[in-house]
Amino acid sequence: MKRVVTIQDISCFGKCSLTAALPVISAMGVETAVIPTAVLSTHTGSGFTGYTFRDLTDDIEPIADHWERLGLKFDTIYTGYLGSRRQIAVMKDFIGRFRREDTLVVVDPVMGDGGRLYAGFDNAFVTEMRSLCALADVILPNQTEAALLLGRDYSNSLTEADTREMLMRLTQLGCHTAVMTGASPDSTRCGAAAYDSREDRFYTSYGEKIDGSFHSTGDIFSSVISGGLTLGMGLQTALDLAVGFTHDCIRATLPIREEQWYSVRFEPCLGRLAQICENFIR
């Protein structure tokens, strides 16, 4: 059985980071180990205030020590929201210890959205995140995070040519593949675009554009990409699956948008995801 370790916070309420990655990657038929980097009462976005934050950085190294003694091996290391610069440094050490020749390292450089950094992050954090991206095989920024990583101003009206140029530059950070979410070639479609520098090839996958912003969709998209690549899917297949699943989750949320303002309703979509992935499980 394929095995991912995903390292990100656990926001106790809000269906993002670990509480999204765990059900989604598990539903794909991939064993999912976790290291929580912090415990928050809720996530920090879309209207939550007064959340608690307990940093767990000091627990990560002892967990890694124990796992090393047990000889645990992971097909994929997938990092998401990290709470501090020190945590990024700890991730670099973790990757150094657990990466084997065939291990896939996926970094979702969670830092912001809509042109703004999330609460608690600053430019020094962005600099540190660049160095984590250098160690990754695949990075999964949204448009805001891509601009931050490249030290550019955010634009929400990128052409396909702009997106391609940014993707190529992102791979120059050191990863071989960059995937940018929120890519939109025209006013009716939205999805993701990717560039694999090893084969000098671009990929796109779009669905219908749905107005509004939906929290946690980045984590859901990244979880499906991580699970899909772990199952051996090609980049185009994983991209289509992740864009399709994210769109399904948004559509499932629309009728109860007010009730689910803090995330998306991914639960009714997991069955179909599991069914599709069954064909890839060996």
Interacting residues with ligand PXL (CB under 6 A): 9, 11, 16-17, 40, 43-45, 81, 110, 118, 216, 218-219
Determine the Cα–Cα distance for residues 39 and 168; give it in Å rounded to an integer. Answer: 35
Smaller CB separation from ligand PXL, 20 or 105: 20
Smaller CB separation from ligand PXL, 17 or 177: 17
Closest distance of CB 89 from ligand PXL, Å: 19
Residue of this chain nearest to ligand PXL (CB atom):
45
Determine the Cα–Cα distance for residues 83 and 122; give it in Å rounded to an integer. Answer: 11
Closest distance of CB 41 from ligand PXL, Å: 10
Q: What are the residues whose beta carbons fall under 8 Å from the beta carbon of 221, sequence distance 6 or more?
A: 140, 181, 192, 242, 243, 245, 246
Closest distance of CB 164 from ligand PXL, Å: 26
Determine the Cα–Cα distance for residues 144 and 154; give it in Å rounded to an integer. Answer: 6
Smaller CB separation from ligand PXL, 171 or 223: 223
Closest distance of CB 44 from ligand PXL, Å: 3
Residue 22, both tokens: 């765990």
Closest distance of CB 263 from ligand PXL, Å: 9
Residue 190, both tokens: 């939205």
Angle among Cα 9, 48, 128 to the nearest 5 degrees reads: 40
Residue 123 CB neighbour total at 10 angstroms? 10
Smaller CB separation from ligand PXL, 128 or 219: 219
